[in-house]
Amino acid sequence: MEKIKTRTGTVIKHTGSHYMVSDLPQWDIYNCVLKGRLRLKGVKSTNPIAVGDRVIYETDDFGTGVIKEILPRKNYIIRKSTNLSRQSHIIAANIDTAFLIVTLDYPQTKPEFIDRFLVTCEAYKIPATIVLNKIDLLDESYADYLDSFRDIYSNQAGYQIIETSVKENYNIDKIQHACIDKIVLFSGVSGVGKSSLINSLDNTLRLKTAEISDYHKQGRHTTTFYEIHPITTGGFIVDSPGIRGFGLIDMQKEELSHYFPEMVKFIDNCRFKPCTHTHEPGCAVKEAVENSEISAERYISYLSMLEEEEKYR
């Protein structure tokens, strides 16, 4: 007679309608399917269950499982499915830290993408770290650009920046240490060296990598599915496909500035509350931009996001 067991676990991979589940930190994988038309209440997304979700599932003697329930999430990171879509896609759930992998060249990660990703992390309470990869490719001609990047995102916005080089094994140990006892999302546009960086953390991993196009200086997708990998030095990595764009979801214009840490320092000094920091007199944020206490680049990103939210309201 078949024995049904009820278990709790974490979704470590999903491909279409099939899910791989393990009770982390144990690595004991069960292949599961969804029960009927299980959907999350209050979240309209293309994927009802995301990698990192904690679920209750039942297994039989043959090791197959049926997911019965999705447990409440402590957080998740979400984006518009495409730049033109009103639908959303949950990248991952229950994340301890998000590592945004960026490069200043080979290819260049656009500031608009960086800012949208960071704003989403702030909105959904996910601590974010910027990993500045391929640092070995930046010669002296990039010195001013590099200093400006550090000033904007570290000195002003307060994000930790870890500069890395897989080729020179530079700061790989820092990334390994930051992953211990955590579930860490690695994300970025195609071509920033995400898969190579993950492979360098654990020599048992064999994630697929691809060369950068010399003509376009862009990468090709090498990761197809979102997936969690254990690393031997401790912790778990959520690998994600390269992202072309990052559209914001459900941001209120009155709260958007609260997701820019450097703006939060000045918001209480604005004459009007709430203040959109666009046209109002006595705006402390606009004054801080004029005094270079907030970078003009980040302020322009803020205005772009504000306009985007107004457009789709």
Q: pLDDT tens for residues 280-298?
A: 999 999 999 999 999 999 9
The answer to whether the predicted template modeling score (pTM) of the entire model surpasses 0.85 is: yes
Specify the range with the lowest mean pLDDT, choosing from 67-81, 103-117, 157-171, 179-193: 67-81
Average pLDDT, the chain: 87
Confidence of residue 212 (pLDDT cuts 50, 70, 90): very low
Residue 206 has pLDDT above 90, yes or no: no
Does the domain spanning 256-311 belong to CATH 1.10.10.10? no
The pLDDT of residue 43? 52
Cα 207 to Cα 212: distance, rounded to the nearest angstrom: 16
- CATH of region 5-70, choose from 2.40.420.20, 1.20.1440.60, 2.40.50.140, 3.50.50.60: 2.40.50.140
Does the domain spanning 76-239 belong to CATH 3.40.50.300? yes
Residue 173 has pLDDT above 70, yes or no: yes
The pLDDT of residue 244? 59
Specify the range with the lowest mean pLDDT, choosing from 173-187, 194-208, 299-313: 299-313
The residue among 122 and 205 whose pLDDT is bigger is 122
The pLDDT of residue 94? 97
Q: Could you state, in order of their start, the residue ranges of all structural domains in the chain?
A: 5-70, 76-239, 256-311
pLDDT digits (tens, 9 = 90+) for 62-94: 778 999 999 999 999 888 765 445 577 888 999
The pLDDT of residue 85? 53
The pLDDT of residue 240? 83
Question: Distances from the Cα of 167 to the Cαs of 193, 207, 222, in angstroms?
Answer: 11, 16, 19
The residue among 220 and 262 whose pLDDT is bigger is 262
Q: For residue 129, list its beta bridge partners.
A: 99, 160
The pLDDT of residue 253? 83
Domains 5-70 and 76-239 alike in fold: no
Residue 223 has pLDDT above 70, yes or no: no
